[in-house]
């Protein structure tokens, strides 16, 4: 049965689209054309040194996040699926010697990069969800391997991917419209993928149109009243697989609309207002270095709370001597998914890393928070439940204002001890934030615990070394070889 859009609805959509187009200063070109021109015009030597340094660090961090998730249930399921499905040996499943079609490699590796919730995230100057730019990295790495691109070309495309996602996050507020920020990967990474495939800028625009029309991601799993399921990690891999298919089809001549961005913008509402300026200024304002390399495997808004809890532990506070824990913070750490009633009783690994009470409890119990603090479902134990019950989350208007105006993610954590003493820690901005970046030693420490029990002790240093000198196609092969964790 054919479905018809009523004239009244179609007219309002077209009016909204035209109004948005009128806001731009370059209405002669669509968003897809602007982003394609930027991507294909970018070259390695034109990228500022500090941006390239950030890209190398992000690549090492992303690969370490993937390897750290190698033994998780989600990774095992999608890895077995990809191996059984088989096909051409285009790209490597990280941690193995097995090669599968690039789309399947992106499915597996994308799931692993995202699964621990330890991968980087773009930091907006305002509060709000922004998206993980490294979600696109596994697809680009698979294509670089398949097409035997140089390390410099991979890094250039990595920067393009980060810049496009950052600009789009500043233009279009995904979550406020019911979309998951992962949508930015589906909408802009096809353009970068097309470049790696040897396509033309025009074909990249069509790749973008194909993907926007078929791979928009609804925010169906991040709801305060629901337990977060495994899709939180696997969705990234599924999107990347579709992204690579869209780019491949476009290079074969499959066409789509050139104004897919503008049509999508209009379909998902006009509030809050959208500003096309960030996209139009690509290459003049750089965003790659505005990505946070998380110190801990937990949701971005909980990072300061974890840091504060570890600070209390280092200051002598112990969980068995705590009578009450009070966290003073903004709405995104004290409310939403992170501070909901369900967060005090997480029922899955995916829910635990989005639970403010859980990550505080584990950090205070063990004096650290690594991926090991999720092994064996500690959230089900009486000890952790009892400590979470002592935690109170207090939302402060002043911190909400600082979040909205300056993107401040800080908290104050107060521990009332059984002997009457009070200890407290204030974190202004969590470590790893662009305003408080991880040092090289701290990044290496993170990679070390991610690979603990999975790789020899020299691998974290070797991974950083290769990413820091990545240049040739042979370097990419060395990088993939270094990631091998298991026999073929």
Is position 96 within any domain? yes
Range with the lowest mean pLDDT among 70-74, 274-278, 292-296? 274-278
Q: Per-residue pLDDT for 125 more than 80?
A: no
pLDDT, tens digit (0-9, with 9 covering 90-100), for 442-481: 999 999 999 999 999 999 999 999 999 999 999 999 999 9
How buried is residue 340: exposed, middle or buried, by Cβ count under 10 Å (0-12/13-18/19+)? buried
| Residue 214 or 24, more confident | 214
465 domain residue, yes or no: no
Which residue, 391, 409, 427, sits at the end of a domain?
427
- My answer on whether 134 and 78 are in the same domain is yes
CA distance 471 to 94: 20
181 inside domain: yes
309, 59, 65, 97 alpha-carbon torsion, rounded to 10°: -160
Which among 262, 292, 322 is the end of a domain?
A: 292
Is the model's pLDDT at 425 over the cut of 60?
A: yes
Give the pLDDT confidence score for residue 129 in this predicted structure. 64
Q: What is the mean pLDDT of residues 104-116?
A: 98
d(CA 112, CA 461): 21
HSE-CB for 287 with a 13 A CA cutoff: 28
**What is the CATH number for 252?**
1.10.4100.10
Q: Do residues 119 and 39 both lie within one domain? A: yes
Residue 32 banded pLDDT, cuts 50, 70, 90: very high
Q: Both 319 and 417 in a single domain?
A: yes
Q: Same domain, yes or no, for 170 and 244?
A: yes
281-315 pLDDT, tens digit per residue, is: 999 999 999 999 999 999 999 999 999 999 999 99
Same domain, 246 and 127: yes
Residue 488 lies in a domain: no
In a domain, 463, yes or no: no
The residue with greater pLDDT, 10 or 189, is 189
In-domain check, residue 486:
no
Measured CA distances, 205 to 153, 164, 197, 283, 421 (Å):
20, 14, 14, 18, 62
**CB-neighbour burial class of residue 173 (10 A; exposed 0-12, middle 13-18, buried 19+):** buried
φ and ψ of 458, to 5 deg: -80, -15
308 and 282 fall within a common domain:
no
- Rounding to the nearest 10 degrees, give the CA dihedral for residues 164, 168, 174, 179: -40
Contact 317, 417 (CB under 8 A): yes
Which parts of 229-381 fold into alpha helices (H)? 231-251, 260-267, 277-280, 303-314, 331-334, 336-339, 349-352, 356-366
Q: How confident is the model at residue 17 (pLDDT cuts 50, 70, 90)?
A: very low
Please tell me the predicted confidence (pLDDT) of residue 268.
81
User: pTM for the complete prediction?
Assistant: 0.92
- pLDDT tens digits for 318-361? 999 999 999 999 999 999 999 999 999 999 999 999 999 999 99
Range 133-146 average pLDDT: 98
The answer to whether residue 4 scores a pLDDT higher than 80 is no
Residues 52 and 165 in one domain: yes
| Statement to judge: residues 116 and 245 lie in one domain | yes
Residue 223 has pLDDT above 90, yes or no: no
Please check whether residues 330 and 231 belong to one and the same domain: no
Q: Average model confidence (pLDDT) for the chain? A: 91
Q: Can you give the CATH number for the domain in which 359 is found?
A: 3.30.1330.120
State the Cα angle at 12 between 11 and 16, rounded to 5°.
120
> Residue 73: inside a domain, yes or no?
yes
Burial of 345-363, coded b for 16+ CB within 10 Å and e otherwise, reads bbebbbbbbbbbbbbbbbb
Range of the domain at 349: 300-427
3-state secondary structure of 261: helix
Q: Are residues 120 and 185 in the same domain?
A: yes
For residues 376 and 268, state if they share a domain. Answer: no
pLDDT attached to residue 401:
95
Residue 470 in domain: no
Task: Examine the domain organization and report whether 328 and 196 are in the same domain.
Answer: no
Q: What's the length of the chain?
A: 488
Does 21 have pLDDT greater than 80?
A: no
Q: Of 233, 267, 292, which residue constitutes the final position of a domain? A: 292
In total, how many domains does the chain have? 2
């Amino acid at each position: 049965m054919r479905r018809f859009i009523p004239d009244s609805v179609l007219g309002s959509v077209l009016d909204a689209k035209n109004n948005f187009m009128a806001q731009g200063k370059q209405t002669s070109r669509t968003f897809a054309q602007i982003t394609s021109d930027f991507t294909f015009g970018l070259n390695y030597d034109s990228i500022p040194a500090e941006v390239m340094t950030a890209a190398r660090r992000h690549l090492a961090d992303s690969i370490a996040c993937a390897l750290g998730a190698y033994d998780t249930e989600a990774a095992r399921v999608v890895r077995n699926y990809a191996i059984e499905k088989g096909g051409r040996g285009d790209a490597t499943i990280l941690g193995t010697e097995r090669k599968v079609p690039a789309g399947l490699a992106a499915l597996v590796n994308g799931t692993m990069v995202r699964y621990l919730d330890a991968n980087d995230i773009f930091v907006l100057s305002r509060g709000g969800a922004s998206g993980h730019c490294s979600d696109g990295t596994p697809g680009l790495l698979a294509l670089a391997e398949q097409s035997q691109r140089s390390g410099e070309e991979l890094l250039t495309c990595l920067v393009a991917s980060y810049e496009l996602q950052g600009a789009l996050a500043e233009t279009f507020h995904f979550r406020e419209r019911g979309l998951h920020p992962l949508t930015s990967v589906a909408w802009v990474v096809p353009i970068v993928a097309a470049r790696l495939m040897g396509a033309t800028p025009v074909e990249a625009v069509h790749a973008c149109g194909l993907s926007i029309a078929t791979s928009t991601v609804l925010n169906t799993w991040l709801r305060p009243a629901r337990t977060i399921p495994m899709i939180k990690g696997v969705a990234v891999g599924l999107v990347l697989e579709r992204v690579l298919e869209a780019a491949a089809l476009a290079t074969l001549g499959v066409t789509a609309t050139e104004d897919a961005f503008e049509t999508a913008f209009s379909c998902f509402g006009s509030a809050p207002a959208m500003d096309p300026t960030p996209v139009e200024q690509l290459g003049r304002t750089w965003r790659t270095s505005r990505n946070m390399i998380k110190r801990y495997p937990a949701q971005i808004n909980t990072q300061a709370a974890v840091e504060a809890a570890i600070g209390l532990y280092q200051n002598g506070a112990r969980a068995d001597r705590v009578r009450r824990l009070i966290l003073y913070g903004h709405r995104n750490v004290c409310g939403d998914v992170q501070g909901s009633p369900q967060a005090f009783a997480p029922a899955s690994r995916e829910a635990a890393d989005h639970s403010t009470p859980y990550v505080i409890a584990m950090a205070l119990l063990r004096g650290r928070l690594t991926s090991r603090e999720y092994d064996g479902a500690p959230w089900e134990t009486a000890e952790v439940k009892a400590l979470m019950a002592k935690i109170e989350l207090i939302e402060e208007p002043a911190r909400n204002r600082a979040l909205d105006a300056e993107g401040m993610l800080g908290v104050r954590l107060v521990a009332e001890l059984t002997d009457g003493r009070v200890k407290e820690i204030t974190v202004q901005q969590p470590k790893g934030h662009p305003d408080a970046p991880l040092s090289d030693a701290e990044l290496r420490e993170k990679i070390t615990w991610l690979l603990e029990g999975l790789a020899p002790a020299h691998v974290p240093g070797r991974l950083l070394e290769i990413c820091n000198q990545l240049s040739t196609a042979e370097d990419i092969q060395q990088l993939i070889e270094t990631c091998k964790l298991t026999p073929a």
